[in-house]
Amino acid sequence: MRAVKAFLLVLCCLAVSDAWSCDEGTGMYNATQVDAGQGAVIVRDTSGYVYFLIGSSWHRMSSTEFNHASIGPAGLWATSNSGNKVYKYIAGNFRIVTSGQAMQQVDAGGNGQVVGVYTENNYCLRSTSASAYSGSGSLTWTSLSKSMTYISCGPYGCWGVIKTDQIFFTRNMSPTSCDPSEWSEIDGAAVMVEVGTDGKVFVVNRTGMIWERTGITASTPQGTGWNHISVCLKVKHVSYDLGTMWVVTDIGLLLKCKR
């Protein structure tokens, strides 16, 4: 199966647009989700196991099966396949948040806060609570005002998509209070969105195409347009950090792409 997937990739000639070039040499052939932040990369495979990239090797972090994982300024957080329980990686182990909000998707890439989705309701954990949590005690999650199916935050604000694929942005999400400014609809359509720790924004739409938001600056955090990144295989998930775009294809290949 690995040989077949690699062959399909060779047929594509690794060609992407906008001067991006991709390499399959990651050694991961059954990926379903990827997240990158602050120089670290994690992957979740089709069995739900989370792997951490050390050098050129992947190391499984736990025997727990997860449905989503995220790494960033708030640390490494994940949600389990069983009961959508929230976990934080502490001192070499995933520790369950024994009294807290259930989540289906979680994002740790903001300015220290953690945000997530549970049955289209959105929640935020203050940065002070997220950083201080050491595996004991309860956490208080703040309910956000917009019903999303996927949410991700960065230095200039938070982005989310709703079940009808519309994209929304809020300029400021206070990490200490989890108080968002008003949500504004952004042109375009997507099923997932990821914000890099430098503020770059990438989305994947329902047909498996990647788009990058252009024109993002501190003064124009919502950006000005979209640039299509043409990858030769249908895309399932994308993440970005430190100049590298990580792409999960619908056949489980993990691609490492650079401009």
**Rounded distance, CA 106 to CA 204, Å?**
17
Higher pLDDT, 2 or 196: 196
pLDDT at 25: 79
pLDDT at 2: 58
pLDDT band at 7 (very low <50, low <70, confident <90, very high): low
**Rounded distance, CA 209 to CA 237, Å?**
10
- 45-62: pLDDT as tens digits: 999 999 999 999 999 999
HSE (CB half, 13 Å, CA atoms) of 210?
27
14 pLDDT above the threshold of 90: no
pLDDT at 181: 77
13 pLDDT above the threshold of 50: no
5 pLDDT above the threshold of 70: no
For the chain, counts of helices (H) and of strands (E) = 2, 24
- 104-144: pLDDT as tens digits: 999 999 999 999 999 989 999 999 999 999 988 888 999 98
Nearest Cα residue to 74 out of 30, 24, 124, 31: 124
CATH of 2-258 among 1.10.260.30, 3.90.25.10, 3.90.550.10, 2.130.10.10: 2.130.10.10
Domain ranges in the chain?
Answer: 2-258
The pTM assigned to this predicted structure is: 0.93
Pull the structure tokens for residue 114: 């953690």
- Average pLDDT score over the chain: 91
